[in-house]
Amino acid sequence: MVVFEPFRKGVGMVVKRNTWQREAVRSALGTQMGFVSAQGLHAALATSGSHIGLATVYRALADLANEGEADSLQSPEGEALYRACSLAHHHHLICRSCGLTVEIEADEVEEWAHRTATQHGFSRPEHVVDVFGFCSACVPPQ
Amino acid sequence: MVVFEPFRKGVGMVVKRNTWQREAVRSALGTQMGFVSAQGLHAALATSGSHIGLATVYRALADLANEGEADSLQSPEGEALYRACSLAHHHHLICRSCGLTVEIEADEVEEWAHRTATQHGFSRPEHVVDVFGFCSACVPPQ
DNA sequence: CTGATTTTGAAAATCATTATCAATTAGGTA
DNA sequence: TACCTAATTGATAATGATTTTCAAAATCAG
C-alpha cells in the first residue's frame, strides 16, 4: 500500500531505443480521440493487425507519460488512462459518455492551487484537476 | 473496461440494516486523520481487536461514500481512499508524506469548473480537484 | 418468537498492472 | 558487413486491490 508518492517519476535517465512497437503505440495513441486505457489501446492495435504484446503497450505508455508525450490520469474506477498531448501543462474536460476530451486552460486554477497550498504551509504542490460531464452530442441520461 | 461512468451511484434506494460492523467502520473512519484505503482501515480495525471481515469493510466504505458520509478519491497509484467528511462539497490538500489532509474551500474552482464546462457545451459537470504537496512538518525530499 | 430478508465473512474469482526471463533486436563499432 | 552487448520484447506467472460467491448468522417487522 504505497499511497502518497509523487505523481510523476524523475526525469531524464537512460537512452531509449527506437522500436516499431514504441512507434506503433505513439501512433495509435495519436489516432484516439479521447483517453484510452493500456488494454484498450492494445485491443485497438490488435484489431488493426498489430501483434504487439500487452506488456509492451504498458511499458510504452508509461514511457510516453514520463517523457511528457502523453497525459495520464486515473478514471473514477481506478484504471490508468492515457492520451497524446502537447507538452504544456493543462487539464481536461472529458465526456462521460463518449470520452471526447477537450484540453482546457486553467491558469486560474493553477494559481489557486499554489496559493492554497502555500497558505496552509504545504510545499511543492501538484494538483489533479479534471472535469467530467456530458458533451453536447451526448444526451444527459434522464 | 468501463471508463466514463459517473463518480457516485444514484442516491436513496433500499434500506440498510444496522450492524456493529457498519458502525465500527464508520467509527474507525472517524478516528483517521487523513485518507485511508479499505485495506488500511481493515488493518487498523484488526489492530484494535476487531474481527471484522475485509469484504465487509469494502462494502461499508462503499456504502458510506454512496450515502455521502465519506469522501472517496483515487490515489495516484489507483487505490481507492476514503475519509469521513461533512456533507458539504469540498476538496482536499493532502500531504504526500504523512497523509495529513486539510479540507479546503474552492468556491473559485467550483465556479470555474462550471463555467468552463458550460462554455464547451458540456452539461452536468462534476470535477476532481485535489492538491497534493508536502505539509510543513514533512521536509520536502531533496 | 418466527419467518423473510439482509448482511457477514472466508475463500475463490476478477482484473488491471507488474515482474520474470529467455529470445530477439537496435545501434554502435571493428 | 559482421559482431558485440545492452536494451527490448512478449508469453506467462505473479501481484495486489477489489468483487463475487454462498452458506451461516444476524436484523427487524409482525
pLDDT in tens, B32-90: 878 899 999 999 999 999 999 999 999 999 999 988 889 888 877 888 999 887 666 77
Are A12 and A58 in a shared domain? Answer: yes
Whether residue A26 is predicted with pLDDT greater than 90 in this model: the reply is yes
Are B73 and B124 in a shared domain? Answer: no
- Number of domains present in the structure of chain A: 2
Are B135 and B122 in a shared domain? Answer: yes
Interhelix angle A54-66/A38-47, rounded to 10 degrees, is 120
The sign one gets for the Cα dihedral B13, B18, B21, B24 is positive
Are A82 and A28 in a shared domain? Answer: yes
The model's confidence at residue A42, banded by pLDDT at 50, 70 and 90, is very high
- Mean pLDDT over A29-48 rounds to 91
C-alpha grid cell, residue A58: 504498458
Whether residue B12 is predicted with pLDDT greater than 80 in this model: the reply is no
Are B27 and B67 in a shared domain? Answer: yes
Q: Which residue of B has its CA nearest to A36?
A: B3
CB atoms within 10 A of CB A14: 5
Output DSSP code: residue A76. Answer: T
Are B101 and B42 in a shared domain? Answer: no
When mean pLDDT is compared over A37-51, A122-136, B72-86, the highest value belongs to A37-51
**Chain B partners of A90 at a C-beta cutoff of 8 Å?**
none
Q: B93 - beta bridge partners?
A: B102, B131
The model's confidence at residue A86, banded by pLDDT at 50, 70 and 90, is low
Task: With CB atoms and an 8 Å threshold, state whether B135 touches A117.
Answer: no
Distance, in Å, from the CA atom of A139 to the CA atom of A75, rounded to the nearest integer, reads 21
CATH code, domain with A5? 1.10.10.10
- For residue B18, say whether its CB is under 7 Å from any atom of strand D: yes
Output DSSP code: residue B3. Answer: -
Q: Residue A117 is part of which domain span?
A: 88-142
Helix, strand or coil, per DSSP, at residue A101: strand
- For residue B62, say whether its CB is under 7 Å from any atom of strand D: yes
Task: With CB atoms and an 8 Å threshold, state whether A120 touches B39.
Answer: no
Are A58 and A128 in a shared domain? Answer: no
Nucleotide lying nearest to A74, CA to C1' measure? C16
HSE of B59, CA atoms in CB hemisphere, 13 A: 11
CATH code, domain with B110? 3.30.1490.190
Please give the residue that has the higher pLDDT: either B83 or A56.
A56
Are B107 and B56 in a shared domain? Answer: no
- For residue B54, say whether its CB is under 7 Å from any atom of strand D: yes
Whether residue A56 is predicted with pLDDT greater than 60 in this model: the reply is yes
**Chain A partners of B37 at a C-beta cutoff of 8 Å?**
1, 3
Q: Which residue of A has its CA nearest to B96?
A: A4
Are B103 and B118 in a shared domain? Answer: yes
Please give the residue that has the higher pLDDT: either B100 or A19.
A19
Question: Does A121 reach chain B within 8 Å, measured CB to CB?
Answer: yes
C-alpha grid cell, residue A106: 486553467
Are B79 and B114 in a shared domain? Answer: no
Task: With CB atoms and an 8 Å threshold, state whether A40 touches B1.
Answer: yes
Specify the pLDDT at position B106: 77
Are B82 and B44 in a shared domain? Answer: yes
The H or E element containing residue B30 is: helix B20-31
The model's confidence at residue B7, banded by pLDDT at 50, 70 and 90, is very low
Are B1 and B41 in a shared domain? Answer: yes
Residue B39 lies in a domain: yes
Distance, in Å, from the CA atom of B3 to the CA atom of A114, rounded to the nearest integer, reads 30
- Residue ending a domain, choose from A45, A65, A86: A86
Residue B13 lies in a domain: no
Distance, in Å, from the CA atom of B3 to the CA atom of A36, rounded to the nearest integer, reads 9
